[in-house]
């Protein structure tokens, strides 16, 4: 089964950029990379997704390695509201496989 690997936790200072890495070495050519985040006591929230090229939206940017075996979610200016668990996800054959995620702590 396709699998993603993320650090268990990361810390960042408020108003600084945050780079959240994800390894997905078993990704196939047609698998999209999705990122979701989950704030305490809430359901997961969509952040961004992409296939090959870098993607930007109002929440974040997604940088995908040329060989697609890794990607990085970039929060350009972290706020306290960005403290959450961030999940890097592959969707394979209609199976949505969440990893353990990275717990992001934002320091004021």
Partner 1 sequence: DAGVTQSPTHLIKTRGQQVTLRCSPISGHKSVSWYQQVLGQGPQFIFQYYEKEERGRGNFPDRFSARQFPNYSSELNVNALLLGDSALYLCASSLVRRNTEAFFGQGTRLTVV
Binding site for partner 1 (CB under 8 A): 32, 34, 36, 42-46, 49, 51, 85, 87, 91, 93-101
We find the least distance from the C-beta atom of residue 51 to partner 1, in angstroms, to be 8
Please say which residue, 63 or 103, places its beta carbon nearer to partner 1: 103
We find the least distance from the C-beta atom of residue 76 to partner 1, in angstroms, to be 20
We find the least distance from the C-beta atom of residue 91 to partner 1, in angstroms, to be 7
How many Cα neighbours within 13 Å face the side chain of 7? 12
Local structure of 53: helix, strand or coil: coil
* Torsion of Cα atoms, 105 then 85 then 101 then 74, to 10°: -70
Please say which residue, 75 or 87, places its beta carbon nearer to partner 1: 87
Phi, psi of 80 (to 5 degrees): -60, -30
How many Cα neighbours within 13 Å face the side chain of 24? 33
We find the least distance from the C-beta atom of residue 71 to partner 1, in angstroms, to be 15
Please say which residue, 21 or 99, places its beta carbon nearer to partner 1: 99
Local structure of 88: helix, strand or coil: strand
How far is 34 from 75, CA to CA, in rounded Å? 15
Please say which residue, 42 or 108, places its beta carbon nearer to partner 1: 42
């Amino acid at each position: 089964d396709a699998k993603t690997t993320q650090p268990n936790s990361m810390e960042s200072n408020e108003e600084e950029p945050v780079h959240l890495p994800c390894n997905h070495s078993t990704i196939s050519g047609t698998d999209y990379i999705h990122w979701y985040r989950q704030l305490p006591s809430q359901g997961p929230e969509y952040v961004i997704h992409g296939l090959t090229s870098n993607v930007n939206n109002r929440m974040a940017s997604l940088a995908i390695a040329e060989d697609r075996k890794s990607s990085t979610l970039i929060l350009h200016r972290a706020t306290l509201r960005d403290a959450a668990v961030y999940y890097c996800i592959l969707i394979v054959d209609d199976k949505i496989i969440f990893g353990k995620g990275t717990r992001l702590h934002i320091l004021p």
